Structure 1
């Protein structure tokens, strides 16, 4: 699945778009009761947004629901997909969403 994810990322334009960062910050702000703290950055070399989120001790199911809310808030109309990886300490998602013109974003999200 990672190979497919990387292939799609290579085929779309996912350079820095300030509006995406603003939307992510807005989402985090409105989820204040579930999110203790967060850090958003942009990796210019790989052209991906990176979001680290410390939750208020949410269960796995609640974190999954929070991630899906984020997807619905950000996604573009043409295509959206993500991968998930769970460790002992975190739940990690990689998200790609793009338009018919192959303009989109890649977001790496880790919930603790």
Structure 2
């Protein structure tokens, strides 16, 4: 699982940096929140999960570990798309807010699942 997390973390980093470069070049900081979330939830948290798997988790191919990976990825992708649509003024907050809420809770559940995996591994 550690390699899956590293691969997705690096993909998030590429997307986040590309968005950051675009914002700098266009002088339009409208997607700053989206950029920050891509880099933090997408890159930093996902890379942290990779390190936890590599350094501490011993049985990384359990159903719970796989579920945690997909819960985090789905929540993160939906959250980032929702933020991009909102801050790009494509979709109004009233429409995207419930999606952002569900995606945020999904990312939170992914974190709780990682905590459970870590505790079970100890």
Normalising by structure 2, we get a TM-score of 0.26
Who wins on radius of gyration, i.e. which is larger? 2
**Larger fraction in helix:** 2
**Larger fraction in strand:** 1
